[in-house]
Amino acid sequence: MATNLHPTTNGTTNDDFTVKAGLAQMLKGGVIMDVTTAAEARIAEEAGAVAVMALERIPSDIRKMGGVARMSNPEMIQDIQKAVTIPVMAKARIGHVVECQILEALDVDYIDESEVLTPADDQFHVQKSDFKIPFVCGCRNLGEALRRIKEGAAMIRTKGEAGTGDIVEAVKHIRTVNADIARAKAALAAGGDLAISALAREIGADVALLKQTAELGRLPVVNFAAGGVATPADAALMMHLGCDGVFVGSGIFKDAETPEHAAKRARAIVKATAQYTDGKALIAASIEHGEAMRGISNAGLKPEEKMAGRGW
């Protein structure tokens, strides 16, 4: 019954992408929170999260425990789906087509092909346009973002260093993306299509997507910040730098003394994201937030301990 209700057969490819990218557009200005249980998902929903990311361990615990990090147990994802009415996202390993098939069959709302999990393929990402379910992927620069969009990603997040509570890498990468976009605009203005082609070769991006980016003056899909957001001020900073919204991973539940404390943190970050230009609202949000996760300084991490570098 449910299947014949949906006229997917009249949809063109173009329509499919409109639907995939459209959900991301509806999440703009919002906060997507990492949750590991149905109870945490309810805290996120009550706090005003626009979506939750279901995963077995928050990134700071993945970092601490080591080992191979994989797609979450489907049973745990189903528990979270039953608990909330907002969209539920879940992570698959980079290049792991079958984990993506499982998540699609689970009917999650978005798949994050994520460097926070241990990559399954050291050469290729998933061909995301082959799936009906939409994907979000990370990037450190414009070339990486446009490679993911070319593969079919309908949403991008600029990578930070997940699980650290240190915002520096997230700032570095959104600045890089912004600088790359400025360069593309300048190239189009000065040298037209030839200059765009040359720049596309240099950064490893699709020519048509790069031209579209230059014309729009922004990424052609929604772009959230992710990784290292630990306080309301961090979330507001990422909005200030031009992100469309934020993912908060460990920042809500790590080192929270009680569920009430986590709920306060979650509410505070939602408020700061919605009102990132309002100083008074940011004061109130910072007070409500209370003590943040302790965190790990990015400067003290060895290169092999960094997750943001995963992705090709």
Partner 1 sequence: MVNKPIAVGVLALQGGVVEHLNLLRKASAHIQSADNLQFTFNEVRTPPQLAQCDALILPGGESTTMAIVASRLGLLEPLRTFVKVQHKPVWGTCAGLVMLAEEAAATKQGGQELIGGLNVRVLRNRYGTQMQSFVAGLDLSFLGDSGKDDPFRAVFIRAPIVEKIITEGEVDGSKGSKVEVLGVFRAEGQQARLEQGGEAEKGDIVAVRQGNVFGTSFHPELTNDIRIHVWWLRQVVDALGHGK
Of 209 and 266, nearer to partner 1 (C-beta) is: 266
- Is residue 249 a contact residue for partner 1 (CB under 8 A)? no
Q: What are the Cα distances from residue 20, in Å, to 24, 129, 131?
A: 7, 10, 10
- Shortest reach from residue 95's CB to partner 1, in Å: 22
Q: Select the span of 114-122, 234-242, 252-260, 263-271 touching partner 1 (CB under 8 A).
A: 263-271
Annotated active-site residue 91? The verdict is: yes
d(CA 259, CA 300): 30
Of 28 and 175, nearer to partner 1 (C-beta) is: 28
Among 132, 175, 240, 294, binds partner 1 (CB under 8 A): 132
Rounded to 5 degrees, φ, ψ at 245 are 175, 180
The site that binds partner 1 (CB under 8 A) totals a number of residues, namely 47
Among 147, 172, 271, 289, binds partner 1 (CB under 8 A): 271
Among 64, 107, 201, 291, binds partner 1 (CB under 8 A): 107
Residues at the annotated binding site for D-ribose 5-phosphate?
34, 163, 228, 249-250
Q: What is the β-pairing status of strands 110-114 and 135-139?
A: parallel
- Is residue 259 a contact residue for partner 1 (CB under 8 A)? no
Contact 228, 160 (CB under 8 A): yes
Ranges within 43-72 binding partner 1 (CB under 8 A): 45-51
Contact 30, 155 (CB under 8 A): no
- Shortest reach from residue 65's CB to partner 1, in Å: 31
Instruction: Name the catalytic one among 91, 128, 159, 264.
Output: 91
d(CA 225, CA 235): 8
- Is residue 9 a contact residue for partner 1 (CB under 8 A)? yes
- Shortest reach from residue 8's CB to partner 1, in Å: 6
247, HSE (Cβ side, Cα atoms, 13 Å): 37
- Is residue 5 a contact residue for partner 1 (CB under 8 A)? yes
Ranges within 109-128 binding partner 1 (CB under 8 A): 109-110
Of 132 and 294, nearer to partner 1 (C-beta) is: 132
Among 13, 85, 123, 258, binds partner 1 (CB under 8 A): 85
- Is residue 156 a contact residue for partner 1 (CB under 8 A)? no
Contact 283, 272 (CB under 8 A): no
Which residues contact partner 1 by CB under 8 A?
2, 4-11, 15, 18-19, 22-23, 25-30, 42, 45-51, 83-88, 104, 107-110, 132-134, 267, 270-271, 274-275
**Active site amino acids:** 91
